[in-house]
Amino acid sequence: MKKGSLISNKKKRFYITTPIYYVNSQPHLGHSYTTIAADVLARYHRLQKDEVFFLTGTDEHGAKIEKAAQKANKTPQQLCNENSKLFKKAWQNLNISYDNFIRTTNSNHIKSVRKVLQILYNKKLIYKGTYKGLYCLGCEQYKTKSDLINGKCPDHQIKPEIIKEENYFFKLSQFENLLRKKIMSNEFEIKPEERKREVLGFFKKGLKDISISRQKIKWGIPLPFDKKHTTFVWVDAFLNYLTGLEWNGNLKNLPKFWSPDLQLMSKDILRVHASIWPALLLALEIPLPKKLFIHGYFTIDGQKMSKSLGNVIRPEELVEKFGVDATRYLLLSACSFGKDGDISWEKLFEKYNTDLASGLGNLVARIITMAVKTKNQEPRIKIKDQNLEIKKVIQNSWQNYKKFLASCELDKALREIWGLISFCDRYIEKKRPWEKSKNRLSVINDLLIILTNITQMLQPFLPETSEKIFKQLGARLNSQEWCFKVRKDKILFPRI
């Protein structure tokens, strides 16, 4: 902090994570949805000049991967190498700006997981016992009878297997009360509210100690204190959020970005993230993440999209048809962030044509064409001379936009931008700037200013498109005056 100043110059830190995805399957729209959302928030915070770390990656151990490798006649490591590459490629195609891509087969991760397990064992928070119960391979999660519908896991439509084994257990139950308090007080925030209620309801049944090792699964990290066992894949996976920041398992030296400001995921993995994950941190005396935000499922015909159900849409199919930015837009605007949404090709095409081709694309073309046609090739607008009505509309939109991004209501932030787009369309119809009148230039200036603001708001969502619009606008802010060097370019979103 500067001497005598109350305003800190220290940059705010923003650490955001996605789940690490299983490499038994290839990336699909569900994975893309979470990752694009995280990318938008990371880009938004970077634009706010925050110091951002955005982590994603792949979850590479466990029974599910072992089985998939066997089926594909590959070694598990081969399968992991191949499929984690596909995730990296998908994120490159979708213009995902992650800061690190963690793989749980990386050697620093493995070493750190073993260190952590040894610490927990030394603290007597891990003990030997016998596990008997149900296990769904699809979820890689323990199940009780009440979790099943007609004896099957509702997400994967498969019967869980019955497991009976001598295992090591983690004393999860010991942390139930403390965790409940932290969730209730929002010190460990779970959003949306209905998801917090769901977690508290789940806590009402009581948290039981969980088995954290397996003897029959060979593809996993061996326990440091008993090599006959491998580590339960979730314990291994959770620690990625620390090792992804290059943490080496030293409790006295936590990474500077710790703890996560926001962890995005869907409801399938909420319970484990609201119980086992924070309990491990409490056990290690490491600060908890600040917020989990749980978004809904994309369904096709009302069913979760998943490899086991065979109804997967690949992100590259969408990128091929619509382009990168349109894919980002179509996914994030498909449903309210936090609620389930059903998608279909028909709806996607319709939205593309309405919102992007006729909406944004058409507006940009109209404004630039009008601005180019004026003799005044380089419009200049002093901020102090700006039309007050327009200024108010823009300010109001920015306020809402920022509020929505702060509360992860991404679809609403987009709607705010599209509200400005329709405002411009109405303004054009009302003012008819193509007719020769003395106000013509000022109307075009108003439109250029609004379009500049629309483009700024679009930046985190549609990074390439906003760059293209900025080029067409040639907008510069020179000491309290906007200057434009407009030039026409290709249509942004051709109708399909």
Contact set with ligand MSP (CB under 6 A): 19-22, 30-31, 33-34, 59, 237-238, 240, 265-266, 268-269, 297-298, 304-305
Name the minimum Å distance from CB 52 to ligand MSP: 20
124 is catalytic: no
CA–CA gap between residue 279 and residue 489 (Å, rounded): 55
Judge if the upstream peptide bond of residue 259 is cis by omega within 30 degrees of 0.
yes
Residue the block writes with tokens 């028909």:
346
Neighbour count for residue 444 (Cβ, 10 Å): 23
Name the minimum Å distance from CB 236 to ligand MSP: 9
Burial (CB count <10 Å: 0-12, 13-18, 19+), residue 46: middle
Judge if the upstream peptide bond of residue 154 is cis by omega within 30 degrees of 0.
no
483 is catalytic: no
Q: Identify which of residues 34 and 472 has a Cβ nearer to ligand MSP in the complex.
A: 34
Q: Identify which of residues 153 and 454 has a Cβ nearer to ligand MSP in the complex.
A: 153
Residue the block writes with tokens 């498909």:
334
| Cα 78 to chain centroid, rounded | 27
Residue number of the CB atom closest to ligand MSP: 30
Name the minimum Å distance from CB 403 to ligand MSP: 24
Question: Which of 171, 307, 431, 468 is an active site residue?
Answer: 307
Question: Which of 45, 64, 153, 408 is an active site residue?
Answer: 153
Paired tokens of 365? 């073309």
CA–CA gap between residue 53 and residue 14 (Å, rounded): 6
Q: Identify which of residues 265 and 367 has a Cβ nearer to ligand MSP in the complex.
A: 265
153 is catalytic: yes
Q: Identify which of residues 31 and 43 has a Cβ nearer to ligand MSP in the complex.
A: 31
CA–CA gap between residue 136 and residue 172 (Å, rounded): 20
Name the minimum Å distance from CB 298 to ligand MSP: 4
| Maximum C-alpha span of the chain | 86
Name the minimum Å distance from CB 407 to ligand MSP: 19
Q: Identify which of residues 23 and 486 has a Cβ nearer to ligand MSP in the complex.
A: 23
Q: Identify which of residues 298 and 352 has a Cβ nearer to ligand MSP in the complex.
A: 298
Name the minimum Å distance from CB 172 to ligand MSP: 16
Question: Which of 45, 196, 273, 304 is an active site residue?
Answer: 304
28 is catalytic: yes
Secondary structure letter of residue 339 according to DSSP:
B
CA–CA gap between residue 465 and residue 323 (Å, rounded): 10
Question: Which of 80, 139, 335, 408 is an active site residue?
Answer: 139
Question: Which of 109, 156, 273, 295 is an active site residue?
Answer: 156
109 is catalytic: no
Listing DSSP states for 346-414 in one string gives HHHHHHIIIIIIIIIIHHHHHHHHHHHHSS--S-EEEGGGS-HHHHHHHHHHHHHHHHHHHTT-HHHHH
Neighbour count for residue 364 (Cβ, 10 Å): 25
Q: Which of 233, 236, 241 is nearest to 262 (CA)?
A: 241
Paired tokens of 315? 């992100």
Paired tokens of 163? 């497991």
Catalytic annotation, residues: 28, 31, 136, 139, 153, 156, 304, 307
